[in-house]
Structure 1
Amino acid sequence: MKRLVVLGGGESGVGTAILGKQKGYDVFVSDKGLIKEKYKEVLSKFEIDWEEGQHTEPKIVNADLVMKSPGIPEKVALVQKLRSLKVPVVSEIEFAANYTNATLVGITGSNGKTTTTMLTNHLLQSGGLNVGMAGNIGDSFAQMVAQEQHDVYVLEISSFQLDDIENFKPHIAVLTNITPDHLDRYNYEFENYIAAKFRITENQTEEDYLIYDADDLVIEEWLKNNKVRAKLLPFSTEKVLEEGAYLEDNKIITNIDNSIFTMSADTLKLEGKHNVKNAMAASTVAQLLKIRKQTVRESFETFQGVEHRLEKVLKIQNVQYINDSKATNVNSTFYALDSVSTPIVWIVGGVDKGNDYDALLPLVREKVKAIICLGLDNRKIVDVFGSIADELVETGSMAEAVKEAYRVSEKGDTVLLSPACASFDLFENYEDRGRQFKEAVRQL
């Protein structure tokens, strides 16, 4: 019996353990931290051996295969040891993809991948396909493969998940954009991060498709210098394309194999130019999978957007409160500031992943009237923006941040939570941060 060791007892780890058990592996789950109660119950139910609070090396290095949770960096000593012993270390998407013949749509990028994934899933489901949505969003891909049967999987995939693939290949890959993010995991080398994102296409063949943002200079540059076998389908809001999706006279036009689909950009419920791009990517996937054009148009009208992503919470005394907690990097926050047309009270801060805030300076000068810092260490934000904001306040909790925002805002303003940072200093994750913001706003 082959031995599968799963490092990390979270969503992807437990899903992999269930699938591994189903496929006849001897499975052991090891988590250096604590495993949540709900996951322990699942592991017990499936009679899977586990440990928490430690990694017992002898029980790990004897594995035939190791699945490493995306949160564990490559440089950890245990991972290095497994590599030196030539034990294969793979990610959950690599492991799970071996056990399904479904059509895989893989979506990655620094920003927009969640919205694009949810939109794509919505379009395909509306078109009557049997779709499962998984990966970096919602349920674990492995658990879905073990317990449900789908014809198509729409997977949101992070660069960390792509770091540990060998043969994984989506039939349709989407690359929304590439901006500096998670550089702490890539030795602060942007090139390493770019290469990680492009792994989504490395196993694709001429039969497969790569949909990408043709306005993204980083992507264009990489494609110029590297060979991709997949058929390229670009999208752009700035230029007319022979094939792919583009914007003309406020219409989204998609042309694939001389089949043309047009739709007014006003059909989108979502605001902002970046969402036009997300819509282009999703509608290109829908067209490749033969969804009726009328269905696509109708589906865009019913799509509600993503929680914690430019989510309008409440209007209080004519001040709009917006939850953009999912903005964990500078580029996401750039989109958020860009999409608001009223004066902004900006709540920002958290765990900095090597951020360069300079790109935000013009927007902050033009639109932001007050900055509310929300983090354990706000020095960098104070250094960069302290001299240009009329008011800058440091706070240590969400309730305090929202009270300060309420104090300094006036009729017609927008209070925008768009932190540009990870949330782990004060919150469990960005969802927890967003929920606390919404709760604090409702308490006003």
Structure 2
Amino acid sequence: MSRNLVVLGGGESGVGTAILGQKQGYTVFLSDASKIKDPYKQTLSLHNIPFEDGGHTESKILIADIVMKSPGIPDTAPIIQKLRQRKIPVISEIEFTSTHSVSQTIGITGSNGKTTTTMLTHHLLANGGLNVGIGGNIGKSYALQVAESSYSSYVLELSSFQLDGIVNYAPHIAVITNISPDHLDRYEYKYEKYIEAKFRITMNQTEDDYLIYDADDEATANWFKSNTTRARLVPFSIKRTVEKGAYLKDGKSIIINIDDQVLIINTEYISLQGKHNYKNSMAAVIIAKLLKMDELSIRSSLKTFQGAEHRLERVLNIKGVEYINDSKATNVNSVFYALDSMNTPTVWIVGGVDKGNDYNEIRELVKEKVKAIVCLGTDNKKIIEFFGDVVEKITEVGNMVDAVNAAQGFAEAGETVLLSPACASFDLFKSYEDRGRQFKDAVRGLSE
């Protein structure tokens, strides 16, 4: 008799899991409290997978043997509470898929840099000849790829929400890029709970696995004071020398020492510039070295890599003003990296849905780098109160076109307009991608 798999959420991870579940012989039912997008509905219909949207039919859900919950659904949702009361396992796509795949995985998490590190790692490994897929929080779902493809390895970008739902999943190589307060609204506003969620990535690793981490990161260092992992530790740092791992020397060279083999890479030859990107590059190169990629291939791949869309993405230079789209910066720590990499006076477009931001860590940077602030959100009070005595020019707008026009009014030749919101996008936009694309469209409109 086949087991009942209920999938909650009809997005990329949900639909992929439903297809994989059906292929593995489960009786599948998919339910979404919101409206499922038409392409996903068509895919489900094509595979004859029953589904519903706009609400949950409890009688069809509570008979599940196992439930896959999409990462966007919080544990506090009533349907999840009812499932837990009945002791029905609720897991993530990552957990479900890994139990039906023999491929090795590289799991990458962190508050910032995980998308860039995931993409760069995939670029290095694919160019090095590995049969490797990319998934998790990026591109096609991991589940769909396991159902339809035959990659020997996967590079997975993993959010804390996805890691909350793992039980036995263990990546062969895990990366924690860094940890800073983010999504605290999902963790009862307790930073330590969010940190614990990130470290779930290593909880099932063995002595044959690796954990790559930022040795400069305070939250990571604090976790290691009272916790351990069985994985082999490989640190990277831009502040100090490390014996085994990677570090920055004199600001000009990255030194990577893996298994007593040293690789030296001049930072000039890395396509992604900025200290945070040196860290992302270190993590990716360590992975490539652990998986025995050719050094020449690693060097050429670092040169040719194009960064992630919406992450410090250069849009246009108009009348000497550089416009940069950093819409993916949905927390304060991301903005810190963005502002830190600015070398000219900056007009900063900021705002959205505040997730419990503490702006203290960027106050001095804002004072040093920012000449004007354009607030783009439905509630800008906190930003105005915090930076009102630091930045002389602050204005509020209600849409992206007005934001870009206001920024253009403040910026002079030789300066930069930076969209780096520090907030979620759901007050005025569908997603951070929608926000970034609207910014790029508005900037292009200036040049027409």
Partner of 1:347, secondary structure, is strand
Residue in 2 that maps onto 1:324:
326
Between the aligned partners of 2:434 and 2:293, the Cα distance in structure 1 is 36
| Structure 1 position 82 matched with structure 2 position 89 | no
By how many angstroms is 1:409 displaced?
1.1
Q: Distance in 2 between matches of 1:283 and 1:316?
A: 35
* CA distance in structure 1 between the aligned counterparts of 2:171 and 2:331, rounded to whole angstroms: 26
Q: Which structure 2 segments of 5+ residues have no match? A: none
Report Cα offsets for 1:63-117 as digits up to 9, x if no partner.
0000000001111111111011010000000000011111100000000000000
Partner residue of 1:128? 129
The structure 2 residue matched to 1:443, chosen from 432, 442, 445, is 445
Equivalent position SS for 1:383: helix
1:246-286: per-residue Cα shift (whole Å, max 9, x none)? 11132111111211111111111112100000000000000
Partner of 1:383: 385
**Aligned residue number for residue 39 of structure 1:** 40
Partner amino acid, structure 1, of 2:372: A
1:209 counterpart = 2:229 = no
1:387 aligned counterpart, secondary structure: coil
Q: Report the secondary structure of 1:263's partner residue.
A: strand
Could you tell me which amino acid in structure 2 is paired with residue 179 of structure 1?
S
Q: Secondary structure at the match of 1:345?
A: strand
What is aligned with 1:68? Answer: 69
**Farther off after superposition, 254-263 or 282-291:** 254-263
Report deviation, 1:139.
1.0
Spell out, residue by residue over 1:12-33, the C-alpha distance to the aligned partner (whole angstroms, 9 max, x if none): 0000000001111111110000
Post-superposition offset of 1:414: 0.2
- SS of the residue aligned with 1:155? strand
Q: In 1, Cα distance between the equivalents of 2:249 and 2:410? A: 41
Aligned to 1:300: 302
> How far apart are 1:129 and its partner, in Å?
0.6
* Aligned-partner Cα distance in 2 for 1:103–1:290: 15
TM-score, with normalisation over the residues of structure 2?
0.98
- Equivalent residue runs for 1:25-424 within 5 Å: 25-249=26-250, 250-424=252-426
Residues 33-71 of structure 1: CA deviation (Å, up to 9, x unaligned): 000001000000000000000011111000000000000
Unaligned regions of 5+ residues in structure 1, if any? Answer: none
- 1:17 correspondence with 2:18: yes
3-state SS in 2 of match to 1:132: strand
What letter corresponds to residue 291 of structure 1 in structure 2?
M
2:354 aligned counterpart, secondary structure: coil
CA distance in 2, matches of 1:261, 1:279: 13
Q: Distance in 1 between matches of 2:394 and 2:411?
A: 13
Identity fraction in percent: 62
Q: How big is the shift at 1:390?
A: 1.6
- Once residues 104 and 14 of structure 2 are traced to their aligned partners in structure 1, the CA distance between those partners, rounded to angstroms, is 23
Deviation at 1:224, TM superposition (A): 2.0
User: Quick one: which amino acid aligns to residue 361 of structure 1?
Assistant: R
Distance 2:218 2:440 in 1: 36
State the SS of the aligned residue for 1:105: strand
- Equivalent-residue separation in structure 2 for 1:335 and 1:239 (angstroms): 19
Whole-Å Cα distance in 2 between the matches of residues 217 and 398 of structure 1? 35
Counterparts of 1:61 and 1:244, CA distance in 2: 48
Write the deviation string for residues 198-251 of structure 1: whole angstroms up to 9, x where unpaired.
000000000000000000111011112111100000001111111111111321
| Alpha-carbon distance between aligned partners in 2 of 1:136 and 1:386, rounded to the nearest angstrom | 36
Write the distance in 2 (CA, Å) between the matches of 1:143 and 1:58.
27
Q: CA deviation at 1:161?
A: 0.2
Q: Which runs of 4+ in 1 moved over 6 A?
A: none
Query: Does the residue aligned with 1:346 lie in a helix, a strand or coil?
Result: strand
Distance 1:17 1:257 in 2: 42
378-387 or 290-299: bigger deviation:
378-387
Q: CA deviation at 1:300?
A: 0.3
In 1, distance between residues paired with 2:325 and 2:243?
38
- Give the whole-Å Cα distance in 1 for the aligned partners of 2:289 and 2:396: 48
CA RMSD of aligned residues (A): 0.7
Matched letter for residue 407 of structure 2? A
Supply the distance in 2 between the matched residues of 1:59 and 1:346 (Cα, whole angstroms): 49
SS of residue in 1 equivalent to 2:236: strand
Paired residue type of 1:360: I
What residue identity is the alignment partner of 2:232? K
SS in 2 for 1:234: strand
- What number of residue pairs does the alignment pair up? 444
Distance 1:226 1:219 in 2: 10
* Code of the aligned partner of 1:105: I
CA distance in 2, matches of 1:217, 1:327: 20
Length-normalised TM-score, structure 1: 0.99
